[in-house]
Amino acid sequence: MYGAPVDLSFKHISSLADAWTEEPTSGLRPLKRNSEMKYQSHSLRLNNNNITDLHDLQKTVSDFLAEPLQLAWLDLSFNQITHVEHVLCELRELRVLYLHGNSIFILSEVDRLGVLPHLHTITLHGNVIEANKAYRNRVINALPRLKTMDFSAVTRQERVMAKIWHHSNNHSRRKETLQ
């Protein structure tokens, strides 16, 4: 990726507005800034905080990144997020999204992410939705370009099984509606 990640992890951030006053942690690779003092990075780490919602995500990304529309890697793991919010669907260049270790409880909300044309890696384990028997099939079916889910490769066979699962599920729902 382009530049070191902007690392705002472990900063005790409860709302994304809290992040705006934080200074990113410097890692092994130095963060580079442009003339507007924004970071030349396509990666943002907001993991291991207390974030509950993503309402200010666009402003946060714009505040820190020189090219906010190029955000490709977002780590929101180990927060208190309960919903897959629509604002994530606006990150059109997103390729990697870490949401593990949160409190997401509505599996169907993951379907929204299917509009992201480049999303190939996602983590969702450690959320309430993981207890759903259809969890992996549903996510794989909803995100057709997925290569890795929960740090495990998505196989061709899993993709076929997810498609079969989806068709049989829709068929039984239609049947119930007709009766």
Q: What is the pLDDT of residues 92-118, one digit of tens each?
A: 999 999 999 999 999 999 999 999 999
Q: What are phi and psi of 175, to 5 degrees?
A: -60, -45
**Nearest 10 degrees: Cα torsion 18, 22, 28, 34:** 110
Q: Looking at residues 164-178, what average pLDDT do you find?
A: 67
Q: Radius of gyration of the chain from Cα atoms?
A: 18
Average pLDDT, the chain: 93
Question: At residue 100, what is the residue type?
Answer: H
Residue 127 carries which DSSP code? S
- In the beta sheet, which residues pair with residue 121? 96, 148
Query: In CATH, which superfamily holds the domain spanning 6-177?
Result: Ribonuclease Inhibitor (3.80.10.10)
Percentage of residues of the chain with pLDDT beyond 70: 94
pLDDT the model gives residue 35? 95
**Does residue 51 contact residue 18 with C-beta atoms inside 8 Å?**
no
For the entire predicted model, the pTM comes to 0.93
Percentage of residues of the chain with pLDDT beyond 90: 87
- For 70-74, the CB contacts below 8 A with 24+ separation are 70/2, 70/42, 71/42, 71/43, 71/44, 72/1, 72/2, 72/42, 72/43, 72/96, 72/118, 73/1, 73/5, 73/42, 73/43, 73/44, 74/43, 74/44, 74/46, 74/98
- Whether the per-residue pLDDT at 69 is higher than 90: the answer is yes
Crossing angle of helices 156-178 and 135-142, in 10° steps, is 100
pLDDT digits (tens, 9 = 90+) for 56-68: 999 999 999 999 9
Band of pLDDT at residue 28, cut at 50, 70 and 90: confident
Band of pLDDT at residue 170, cut at 50, 70 and 90: confident
- Of 176 and 33, which is predicted with more confidence? 33
- H or E segment at 73? strand 73-75
Q: Which two tokens stand for residue 111?
A: 């379907």
